[in-house]
Structure 1
Amino acid sequence: MQISPCEEFVRRLSWHNASQSDEQLREYLILALLRSRACITLQSEELQYLYIANLPAVWPVPTEGDPNDENIFGHELGEELHRRKQAVVQSGQGERIEINAAGDRVFEFNMEVTTSRARERQVLTTIVDLTETRRREKLLRDLLMEVSHRSKNLLAVVLSLATQSARDVSSLDEFQTDFRGRLYSLSKSQDLVTDADWYGAGLLDLIKGQISVEALRVRPELQFFGDDVVLTPNAALHLGLGFHELLAGASGGGEEDHHRRLRVSCRLPQAGSAGMAELEWSEALSDGLQAGAGGQASGADQRFSSVLLRKVIPAALSGRSEYRKDEGGVFYRIVFPVSEQNVRKN
C-alpha cells in the first residue's frame, strides 16, 4: 500500500525534541527548502494546484486567477508538463525531465503520484535548479578534453625527441645521455607550466630551471637583463628545450673547473604598441673550455641543436633566429611577436 508524503516524512525523520512544535519544525523545513534551490508543487489528481513553494524566479506565480501549468510555465512548456503529468496519473509511474529556461538555466522536473492522509491521489512535482551542476560538468568535460589534447601534443614531442636523438648516434649510451637530458628539460618546463595551472612560465624561472636540471660540471654564472616575460605553455616548452641545447652544447668534458658566464636579455616593445620581443642568449667561455667539448656535442647532437634552434623554435613562435657557436662561446638570438600565442599579458 502506498503511503502518503506525511507518513513518509514521519518515517524518515530520525528524531526531534518534544519541545519543538510542529509550527517551529515547519519553519525550519521551509528555510531549508529555500536554501536548497528546490521547488515543490502539489496538484490534485485533476491537476489543480494545491501548493507551490519556492518556485524559481523565471516562472512567477500569476497574481490573478488560479495558477495552472500554462499560465506559470508558458504555453509550450505548460502543455508539455500537463501532458506528462496526465501520463503519470494514468500509469502511476514517476517521470523526470530536464528543461532549459531563460537562456542558460537548467531545471530538473520530477513528477510522481502520491497519496494524501485522506487517501486522495495527488501529483507531487519537485523542481531542482541544475544550472551550476551542469556548468561544472561542462567545465570538467572541457578540462578533460584540454588535458587529452595537451597530453597528445606532449607525447608527440617526446616521440620526436626520441626519433631525433636516435639519428646518427654512435652508441646506445650516447642516445641515452642525449635523450635523457632532453626529457629532463621537457619535464622541468612542464612542471613550471603545471604549477601555474597551465597559465605559462616566467622566462627567468625557465632559464634557472634548465640550469638546475643540467648535469653540468660547472654551472654558469647567470646575468639577466630586461623584461621577465610570462611565456605561454607552448612557448615555454619550446624555449626550454632550446635553453637545454644551448647549455649542453657549451658544456665541457674536461676534468678541471672553468668559469662560465651566461648573459640573457629580453626586450619587449613599448607599452601599448604591438611588436616583437627580442631574446638574446650569450655564454662566454674561458680559454680552457671549448664550446661543444664532450659527449653532448657530437656531430649528431650539433645537427639536432642547429635544427631545433634555427628552425623548430622560430617556427613554433612565428619568429626568426640567429645561432652561432665557436671557441669563444655560444650566441643565440630569437625575435618573436608579442602575441597571445607566445606571451601572457599581465
Structure 2
Amino acid sequence: MAGLIRALDWAATPLGPLAAWPPGLRTAIELLLASGFPTCLQWGAEGFLIYNDAARPLMGDKHPRALGRPIFEAMPETRASWAPVLAAVLAGETITLQDQPYLLKRDGAGEQAWFTHSCSPLRDTAGRVVALWAVYIETTARLRAEWRRDQVEAALRAGEEQQAFLLRLSDALRPLAEPTAVQATAARLLGEQLDVNRVLYVDIIDEREAEIRLDYARGVPSLAGRWQADAFGEAVTRQLRQSQLLVIDNAQQDPVLADGNRALFAELQIGATIAMSLVKDGRWVAVFAVQNAAPRIWTPAEIALTEETAERTWAALEQTRAEQALRRREAELARVQRIGGIGGFDIDLRQGLEGPHLVGEHSPEYRAVHGLDTAGLAEHHGAWLRRLHPEDREPAAAALQAALAGDGLTYQNEYRIIRPSDGASRWILARADIERDETGRAIRLIGAHIDVTPQKQAEAALRESEERLRQFGEASSDVLWIRDAGTLRLDYLTPAFERIYGLPREGGLGEHDFQGWAATILEVDRSRALSHIARVRGGEAVTFEYRIRRPDGEIRWLRNSDFPIRDGTGRVRWIGGIGKDVTEEKRAAARQEVLVAELQHRSRNLLAVIRAVAFKTLGRGGARGGAVAAFDQRLAALSRAQGLLSRFGSDTVELGALVRAELEAHAELEPPRIDIQGPEVNLSVEQVQTFSLALHELATNAVKYGALRDDLPGQLSVRWQVHEAGEEDRLPPPRVPGRPSRPVLRWVQLAWREAGIALPPAAPAGERPRGYGRELIEDALPYSLGARTAYALQEGGLCCRIALPLR
C-alpha cells in the first residue's frame, strides 16, 4: 500500500500533493502502514479513504479504486449506516461497532466473516478533529465458537435421541470380544445415526504411519489399509495434534486444506468431515472420523455425538484388549502350571478340616499333579490324607494343623504322595496363603501344589555325584582342586595336598589361599606358573611344570594339568586342575641321562678298541691297507654320530649339526667353497646311524674325487628343506615300489650338489660299477628308513637328493 499511496496523484484531491501534507497526517499514515491490524483513515468531512495492506480484503473489489476517494463516493451503499458514525467521530466521539458482517474473498473463495470496529477521532496539533481512525478486529472464530457452543448446549439439553443412541452403542459394544468387531460396530451405528457416507477408526502406528483396519462405507470406496500419518496434509495433522478436533464443512473451500489436499479429498469423495484425535497419556493413539461425500454444515450436536462416540469406542477397545490380555494370561498360566507341574487349590476352612474342602474347578492341573480323574469326585481333606506317603502322612498332617492353628499368614511344606493313577511316588511342595477372620481363625487356604519330583531326583543325583567325586578325590594320589575363576578362592581340594605340599588342607595356605599357593612356588618358576593360570582363566587348557618348597625345605617337582570349567552360558566360572608329584620321575630321568651318557662314552671307547684291533689284525700295508683305512673312517663316522647323540640328549640329533660334524672331519668349512643352509630339523636315533654313513660316503668321495679335492676349484652346496604331506611331487620317486609304509606327514629333503669337477667318460650301463657309498644311498636308505633318493652324475658335477620321512 505504501507504493500505491506514493504513486497516487494527490494533487488532484482536496488533500493536495504529498509534500504539502501536514506533519500530523504524515505521522498518521506511517502508523497506519506499520499496523498489523486492518486500519483505515477517513480524512475530513468527506472521509477521504487511506488504508493499509491488512485492510485490503475488507475493501473487496473496490480496491484499489477506493484509495484517496471520499468514503461515500467509493462506497455509496454505506452512506445510510456510516454517515452517522463519521459525523459522531468528527464531533469528537469514540464509537465501537461490535461484530460487523463482511463477505470476504479468501483463497479464491467467498467467506462470511465478522469484525469489531473501533472508531476514534484523529486530532491535529491544535486539537481539532481532522479525521476518523478505524481499527478492525476480526471476531469470526469467537462468534463461530460461541454459536457452536450454544448449539451443543441446546442439542445436549434436547438430545434424548442421541442419549438413546449412546445407550444403544454401549449395549452393542459391551459383549464384543474382538477389537476389530468393536471398531466395525461403532462405525456402523454412528454412520447410520448421522446418515453419513463413511465412518472410520484410524490406529496411529507411529509418527509416520497409520492404519485403518476397517471402516463403514456407504456409496463411497473403503479407505481400509495403511496410510502415511500426514497423507491428508501437514496442516490437517498439525491441527489434529494441537486441538484434537477438526471440523470441515466444505473440503473444497476450507482454508486448512492446501490445493493438493483438496484434490485428494475430492478423489476420496470427502466433501465434509469431523475428525477427532484420541490422545492418551500424552501419546497420539487414534483418530475417529465421520465423512460425508457432499459438503455439510455440521451441527454442534453432531460434533458432540462424534466426540462422545470416539471416547466410548476407545473405552470399549481398551476393555476388549484388557479382556484379551487376561484370557491370554490365564491360558499362559494354565500352560505354565501344566508344564511346571503346578496345581492351584482354594480351600474353605470355615467348617473345619473335616468339611467339604473343594479345589477350584479352574485348576485341572491340581488333579493332574495328584493323579486324579479329571471327572472324578471333589477333593477333600480325607482323600488328601490317604494319598500321602505312609512315612510322610503323620508329619505332613501335623504341619498343616500347626500352620492353621497359629497366627501366620503363609504355609509351606514338602512331602510325598502316592498317585492313584499310576501308583508313582511324587514329591509335592505346598505353598499357600492363609486368610483369617477378625479373631485370627483360619477361614481360607489358597495356594498351589508343585510337583518337585524332578528337582528332588536331581538333588539326589547331585549328592551321589558329589560323594563319588569326594571318594575319588580322597583316594587320588594327585592333588585335585577347583577354584572360582573370578576370585581364585579354593572351592575344592583333595587330601593329597597335605602329602605333597606338607601343609594342612584346611587353612594351610592362609586367608588368601591363591597367594599362599603362589608363595610355595620357587621364585624362578613362579611368574611362568601364574601366567599359565591366567591362560586357563581365559579359556585355555594347559600343562606345565614347576617346583615348590615344602615347609621342611624339601624341593618337589609338580606337573599341573589345568583346565577351564564353564557354566551353562559358556562363561568360565571355575578353573580346575590335577597336580602330579613328578619329583621321582625327574630324578629317574636325570639318572637315565647319566646312564645314557656313560653308555655313549663306553660305545665310543668300544669303537676305538675295534679300530685298534682292526689295525693290529689286518695291518696297514698293501691292498688290505686301503680296506682298513675305509673301515676305520666309517667307524669314525659312527663314533661322531654317537657323540652327537650324546650331546643332543641321546634320542635325536639336529640335521645341521650332523652335516657340519661330518664335513669338519674332512675339510675346513670355508665359504664360498662350502655352502650349508637349512632349517632346524631333528633326526631320530635310527635315522642318524644310517644317514651319518651316507654323509660320510658323500664327504670322502668329495675329498678324493670331487668338489673338495685340493687340486680342483670345486664348490659344494648342502641344503635342505621341509615338505608337508601332499608335496611328494617335489621329492625323488620311491625306489622300492609296492613296499608298504606308514603315512608320512612331513619330509626333509637334503640336496648335495658338487660343481666345478671333471668327470671321467661314462661307461656303458651294463659295465658301470657302483661303489659302497652309492649302494648305501640308493638301496640301504630306502630299505631301512623309507627314504627317497636320487643320485646323478652330471656334466661338471654331482647332484644327490635324499628325502627322509619325519615322524
TM range (shorter): 0.3 to 0.5
TM-score (norm 2): 0.21
Q: Answer 1 or 2: higher relative contact order, Cα 8 Å, separation at least 6.
A: 1
**Which protein has the larger Cα radius of gyration, Structure 1 or Structure 2?**
2
TM-score normalized by the length of structure 1: 0.44
